[in-house]
Amino acid sequence: MDANQQSTANPFGMDEQCTNCPNLCEPRTQVVHGYGDVGADFLFVGERPSTRADAVGIPFLRSTDGDEGFADDGLFRILQRLGLCASTSDPAAPTVSNVYLTNLTRCRDPERPPTDDEIDTCEPYLNAEIRMINPEIIVPVGDRALHEIGVEYTTTPADELAIERDHATTIRGRGFELVPMLEPTAQTEAQRQAWLEHFVQLMASDYRQTKGRQER
């Protein structure tokens, strides 16, 4: 894989015909690898592709009531408010900067969440993206992403991680920091505002000094 790829969709050329999880090959529409800026400081990690992402191939895309644009309560609206996604973006190919989007798993079964074995099988893809991008901040979106990222990349015990409590806070990781986020559709307006304010303060800080720290 080449860290200097210029493509936004699947910039590292990962296997788009992956058959490592046989039970996901039939229900998925396509394999959804990461999307965004390979030099990003901010990496967002969800659990699995959304329905719209499975159709289009871009993580976190959502649609409402037949509208193929960005959902008002979706992650891309949050990125727009942070200046990380152009408001004039084509929803089928969003223009993002300094941000990379990916998931624990690359395939969607519409009837169920991924199994632990499927997440483990997909982990080398995620690990490769994290190593290639070398982000400053990782945003686990949802409880499953927080648990998996937290256990693998922090020294925090698993039973101390909870998305409701850790939303809009900072957790020290191994060489970066985690800023957990509740699923956008599960957030109240107050929770969304709290996360935005916390993240804006972080963006305005000298967050790059976090590189290399090992403790929480």
Question: Token pair of 139, please?
Answer: 């945003």
What pLDDT does residue 16 have?
97
pLDDT digits (tens, 9 = 90+) for 154-164: 988 888 999 99
N residues, the chain: 216
Find out whether 32 and 125 touch, Cβ atoms under 8 Å: no
DSSP symbols for 29-53: SS----EE-TT-SEEEEESS--HHH
In angstroms and rounded to an integer, the radius of gyration of the C-alpha atoms of the chain is 16
16-39: b (≥16 Cβ within 10 Å) or e: eebeebeebeeebebbbbbbbbbe
Phi, psi angle pair for 155, to nearest 5°: -100, 10
Of 44, 102, 48, nearest to 78 by C-alpha is 44
What pLDDT does residue 215 have?
37
Q: Other C-beta atoms within 10 Å of 136: how many?
A: 19
Q: Where are the domains of the chain?
A: 39-210
- How far, CA to CA in Å, does 25 sit from each of 11, 21, 36, 164? 22, 7, 25, 33
**DSSP secondary structure letter of residue 139:** E
Q: At what angle do helices 116-133 and 143-153 cross, to 10 degrees?
A: 60
Q: Which amino acid would we find at residue 186?
A: A
What pLDDT does residue 212 have?
44
> What is the residue whose two structure tokens read 């304010």?
197
CA distance 102 to 60: 8
Counting as low any pLDDT under 70, the low residues of the chain are 1-6, 63-73, 209-216
Find out whether 113 and 152 touch, Cβ atoms under 8 Å: no
Question: Token pair of 51, please?
Answer: 């329905």
**DSSP secondary structure letter of residue 101:** E
pTM value?
0.91
Q: Which fold has domain 39-210?
A: Uracil-DNA Glycosylase, subunit E (3.40.470)
pLDDT digits (tens, 9 = 90+) for 52-72: 999 999 999 986 554 555 665
